[in-house]
Amino acid sequence: MNTQTMTQQQIRMTGIKILSQYMGVTETIRFLQQTETGYGDYTKERDKIIGDPSLEDLVADIKASGLNKKT
C-alpha cells in the first residue's frame, strides 16, 4: 500500500477498513461520529428555530412538556 499514490477517498476507505477490522463495526461508527465535522452554522440554525425566548417562556415550555415532574 503506497499512500503517496492513493487518493484522499482511498486513504479514508482504507482507514475505515482497518478500524473496523480491529475495533468492530459499532465502535468504528462511534469513532467516526466523534471525528466527523458537520456543516452549516449551528448557532444561526438554532436561533432560527428557537429564537430568543425569555426565561419565563422556557419555564412555561418545561412545565407544559411535563419534563419537570419527578418519577
Per-residue pLDDT of 12-65, as tens digits, reads 899 999 999 999 999 999 998 888 777 788 888 888 888 889 999 999 988 998
Per-residue confidence at 71, pLDDT binned at 50, 70, 90? low
67 pLDDT more than 80: no
Measure the CA–CA gap between 19 and 49, rounded to whole angstroms: 37
Alpha helices in the chain (DSSP H): 8-23, 25-35, 42-50, 55-65
3 pLDDT more than 70: no
**Whole-prediction pTM:** 0.45
